[in-house]
Amino acid sequence: MDMNLAAFERFAVHFQKGDLLFCEYEPGDAFYLIQKGRVQISKIMGDIEKTIDILQPGEIFGEMAILEEAPRSANAVALDDVKVLEFNRANFEVLMRGNPQIALKLLKLFTKRIYDQRRRFMILTLDDVHAKVADVFLMIDESQPSKDVGTGQRVFYTTPDDIGHWAGISPEKSREVLQHFVSQRRVEIYQDRIVVRNINDFARFVNSRRKR
Amino acid sequence: MPKASTYKANSVIYFQGDVGDRIYILQSGTVSLNSNDIETGEEIHDQIKTGEFFGVKSALGKYPREENAVVLTDAAVVVFSVPEFEQLALSNTRIVMKMLKVFSNQLRRLHTKVSGLMQGGAQSSPEDGLFRIGEYYMRKKQYAQAVYAFNKYLTYYPSGRHQAEASRHAETAEQFAQKYGSGKGPAAPGFQGGSHGNGETDGGRNAGGAASGGGGQNLSDSAKAYYEAVSSFSREEFAKALEQFKQVAASGGDEEYVLKSTFEIGRCLFGLERYDAVIKHYTGLIQKFPKLPDLTEALFYLGRAYQESGDTARAASFFKKILSMEDVDEGLRRKVNKAVRALEGN
């Protein structure tokens, strides 16, 4: 990356392989731009640590912290020896003005986050819990490039608990709703995946439940 | 090069749902961004001020337009492609900084709304959450990480409710890290049993504060077995599902899943066309649990089983009974009506 970062060396922070940069639930007051090494974003679910993403040099993470000191929503672990630029409220303006490319990058990241949050909000504002769950599948489907648009069948490598999380309902409720879809033959549940028989049927169903 | 463009009153610059890669600045005239509030469906009219950008988010983020851009009075705009806009932004940080502020405000508002709608009980409090992360790393013998999490806990919650435990664990983790290194050595006191100790110690703690949060993450054995069976059922492997449900039902495990499985046994029998067995199963079940939560569905399978075995009179009386009950699921009501029509056709 061809950026004028030399002047900002004093904001650089080093981590050793395996170090936690931050962990979930910790209040966050800084975000990071990776300069060297890879960072793994993960979440602890029950008894496993689930990798959400692996970030490369040039990528920004933890950016929600600049909005408010909200608790971190995931762990960030150094996969290699890592060097990051640390942005906080105090140095934010200086760093951004000096690095329009980072500012632009952050702007793009925000447009994506706004879209994602809006999409989640659309799910959560549905009254019908079955529609919420169906809409979660639609949301995931929109974000995964479909290889086969010809048929309505879609495979999701996810679990009832994850679906419940996105729908803002308890894991128990999520399983109950999915079970209902199973009994209607609209969904099949396997150990590692959930199959939606006809995603278009879900789209029609959700649309009929949305306020206009 | 950015292009100047004019639009007549009542024309539309772009429609909601369009995929567009153009960004606009309003030079003169009036443009309104019209959309519907996600929550209420109410119409929102957002008038663009002269000199203001619009169409930025969808163009930069490459997603469909979220509003109709309607021209109210004859308007002049300058149109940018994304690369042209980026060029401008790089030479004029003020624009980006201003937009960052606007976007981060929007994002913050959305974020607050979304968090507000997330199930309150389903998420642990940050305090408990942070402490449990430390415990997780202790169990995994990732001592450096455990030290980090417990120390953060003690920094942010110096008189928190897990304070004593956290400082004890932090100390142990530090000793173990030095003595044995990461991932090695015996389990720390209180963390014996490795990854499986979790069920007992944590389960008790979860029961108080974050029951629903923890419940989903530590599926009990009966729950796992139950979902295995459900999965067989959904593949219409009824014989296999029947055996699996029977095992859960007989396991004496988690009561919820024992009951659910007992119920599902009847549906498997129905799938296997063993109608006498269905009748026997559900009759027994209803006698044993007159307030069965899935009573209406049990009655439906009883009716269907009688119907399939040719006893239309009994079948009809069961269907009538369901339709006379309050609080019948819409889907079930439809199924019952369909079954009744089939009976009448006979």
**Domains, in order of start, for chain A:** 6-124 (2.60.120.10), 129-209 (1.10.10.10)
Taking the C-alpha atoms of residue B210 and residue A126, their distance in angstroms, rounded to an integer, is 25
Among A68, A104, A121, whose Cβ lies nearest the Cβ of B108?
Answer: A68
Quote the minimal CA–CA distance from B94 to chain A in Å: 8
- Tally Cβ neighbours within 10 Å of residue B228: 19
What is the pLDDT, as a whole number, of residue B290? 73
| Sequence-distant contacts of B280-287: CB under 8 A, at least 24 apart | none
B109 touches A: beta carbon within 8 Å: no
- Cβ contact (<8 Å) for A175 and B227? yes
B99 in contact with chain A, both atoms CB, cutoff 8 A: yes
* Residue of B119, B62, B66, B108 whose CA lies nearest to A132: B119
Q: What is the pLDDT of residues B141-172, one digit of tens each?
A: 899 999 999 999 999 999 999 999 999 999 99
Return d(Cα B39, Cα A124) in angstroms, integer: 9
Residues of A in contact with B264 (CB under 8 A): none
Query: Quick check: B182 contacting A, CB < 8 Å?
Result: yes
Flag whether pLDDT at B82 surpasses 70. Answer: yes
Burial level of B94, CB count in 10 A (0-12/13-18/19+)? Answer: exposed
Least confidently predicted of A66-70, B110-114, B251-255: A66-70
Question: Would you say the ipTM is above 0.85?
Answer: no
d(CA B83, CA B88): 9
Give B230→chain A minimum CA distance, Å: 8
Q: What is the dihedral of CA B245, B249, B252, B257, to 10 degrees?
A: 70
pLDDT of B197 higher than 50: no
DSSP per-residue letters across B293-324: TTHHHHHHHHHHHHHHTT-HHHHHHHHHHHHH
Q: Both ends of chain A: CA-CA distance in Å?
A: 46
- Does residue A149 sit at the B interface (CB-CB below 8 Å)? no
Q: How far, in Å, are A104, A134, A179, A206 from residue A209 at the CA level?
A: 38, 11, 20, 5
User: Collapsing DSSP states into helix, strand and coil, what is residue A5?
Assistant: coil
CB B125 within 8 A of CB B82: no
Instruction: Give percent above pLDDT 70 in chain A.
Output: 92
Low-confidence ranges of chain A (pLDDT < 50): 1-2
When the pLDDT of each residue in chain B is averaged and rounded to a whole number, the result is 83
Confidence label for B131 from pLDDT (cuts 50, 70 and 90): very high
**Do the Cβ atoms of A124 and B117 come within 8 Å?**
yes
CB B216, CB A164: distance < 8 Å: yes
Which of A46, A179, A180 comes nearest B218 by C-beta?
A: A46
B95 CB near a chain A CB, below 8 Å? no
pLDDT at B200: 35
8 Å CB contact of B129 and A25: yes
Rounded to an integer, the average pLDDT of B71-91 is: 95
**Angstroms from A175 CA to nearest CA on chain B:** 9
